[in-house]
Amino acid sequence: MALQSSTNPMLNISENVVSCDPDMLGLKSPKKSEMSKRHLSFRRLVLVLLGLFVAFMFLPWTQNIQADGRVTTLRPEQRPQTIHATIAGRIEHWYVVEGQAVRRGDTIVHLSEVKAEYFDPNLVARVSGQVLAKQGAIESYSNKVGALEEQIAAMRRELDSKIAQIEQKIVQGRLKVESDSIKLVQANIDLQVAQRQFSGMKNLYDKGIEALTKLEERRLKLQEAETKLIAAQNALETSRRELDIYRTDLRLTQNEYANKIAKAQSDKFSTLSEQYDARASVNKLQIERDNYAARSAFYFIVAPQDGYIVKAMKPGIGEIIKEGDPVVSIQPADYQLAVEMYVKPIDLPLLDVGRTVRFLFDGWPALFFSGWPGVSVGTYAGQIVAIDRNISANGKFRVLVAPDPTDEPWPTALQPGGGAQGIALLNDVLLGYELWRIVNGFPPDLYKGLETRDTKEEPK
């Protein structure tokens, strides 16, 4: 039994235990193969770190797009503006200094005239005199037109009177022609009667029944009848000629007065044309007068709105400026701050109006954690109000962001032109997803961006 226990100690056949530890105390190999306490600590550390890494993968992460920008104003009229000279002139006097606050309508600089055609100090009064003279000419033309109209009306009345007289003569001439025609018929009848009587008397005379004296009487009556017939024919022709003369006189009278009336109307229209030319000249002179009067107001350059003088572009006294040259730069006093930032075209589909943006302004200390904006300090919130439809010269799209009314207001000392770094906040995702996205090179919020873009394109 003792031998079996010594040869098979691992079979647990015997209750006797054989210990080898005393035999290995002096050996080096077992000591080297033992696991050190440091190794065990490192393994525990690795396991802890791995556990923390896995836990971090499930932490929320806010996707964002970062872009540089600058402080500006929300409305265009609130941005710094340059006042230009409306007319060419010579600087005579400055009424302001740089940095001075001005009110709307305050005089900034006084200019004097440099063009020879405007040197006359009484130019407006002289042009006003020309306007009055032309207006008097217009009144004279109006009187002349009235006189010509009255003359035309008188000639028409006179024409009607003469036509009535000639028509009466024509009626009388027609009656006379009818009367002379009747007389001619009567003369023909009388001639026929006288011829029959003469023929009968001659037969009786040839037979010796009647005396020669009676035959001569009949001959005389026959000659008288022939004479009356010729006289009647002449009278009829004369009446017809007179009737033709009356008709011709009617046409001549109508033509004569038509020419007179046409000439008077031509004079009338010529006068009207001159009147219209005079009115055009009056309008032109009035425009010139008003332009001269308005030009005199441009000698004083005034502030278009309340603001501060930033910089004088043409500071010298006596310096000549041209039309449209910049004179002074002014910053409006009342404005609403905004930030214009420029984003890459690849990030543009992910932005829309109303999205939140956090800003780090130059001169204001801030600590920002890109994935956890909630624990950031010193940043200010804004909302996108406009996105440009055209790409800028720098190859990016401009996005205008206004202060968020529901968040902390922006610093009151912030001035337009200052720098700002914008962080547009997108969707909340897991940190593991964000790392996976970065490793694969996908843009932020890829699939939602595509859905949003498709949704916007559907109405088209």
Q: pLDDT tens digit string along 141-186?
A: 899 999 999 999 999 999 999 999 999 989 998 998 898 889 889 8
Is the pLDDT score of 406 beyond 50? yes
Q: How does pLDDT run across 288-308, given as a tens digit for each residue?
A: 888 888 888 888 999 999 999
Average pLDDT, the chain: 80
Q: What's the mean pLDDT in 41-58?
A: 74
Q: Which two tokens stand for residue 452?
A: 């949003």
| Residue 4: predicted pLDDT | 43
Q: Is the CB of residue 373 less than 8 Å from the CB of residue 425?
A: yes
Partners of 309 in the β-ladder = 330
| Structural domains in the chain, sorted by start | 2-52 (no CATH), 60-78+336-457 (2.40.30.170), 81-113+299-331 (2.40.50.100), 123-297 (1.20.1270.60)
Integer Rg of the chain from CA: 62
pLDDT bucket at 366, cuts 50 / 70 / 90: low
Max alpha carbon distance in the chain (Å)? 235
pLDDT at 24 over 70: no
In what side-by-side order are the strands of the sheet with 307-312? 81-84, 326-332, 307-312, 101-102
Which residues are paired to 340 by β-bridges? 70, 400
Compute CA 407 distance to the chain's CA centroid, rounded to the nearest angstrom.
40
Degrees, nearest 5: CA angle 239-244-250:
125
| Residue recorded with tokens 């207006």 | 135
Residue 103 has pLDDT above 80, yes or no: yes
Pair of tokens at residue 17: 């235990």
Q: Which residues are within 8 A (CB) of 325 and not within 5 positions of it... i.e. 6 or more apart?
A: 84, 85, 313, 314
Using DSSP's 3-state secondary structure scheme, residue 343 falls into strand
What average pLDDT score do residues 200-214 get? 79
Instruction: Please say if the pLDDT value at position 3 is more than 60.
Output: no
Answer whether residue 383 shows pLDDT above 60: yes
What is the rounded CA–CA span in Å between residue 296 and residue 113?
Answer: 9
Residue 345 has pLDDT above 50, yes or no: yes
Reported confidence tier of residue 376, pLDDT bands at 50, 70, 90: low
**Among the listed ranges 48-62, 225-239, 245-259, 270-284, which one has the minimum average pLDDT value?**
48-62
Strand, helix or coil at 62?
A: strand
Local confidence band at 215 (pLDDT 50, 70, 90 cut-offs): confident
Q: Is there a contact between 218 and 198 (Cβ–Cβ < 8 Å)?
A: yes
For the residues 358-366, what does the mean pLDDT come to?
Answer: 79
For tokens 């406009």, name the residue.
386
Q: Are 400 and 386 in contact (CB under 8 A)?
A: yes
Whether 223 has a pLDDT exceeding 60, the answer reads yes
- 119 pLDDT band, cuts 50/70/90, is confident
Residue found under tokens 């610093």: 411
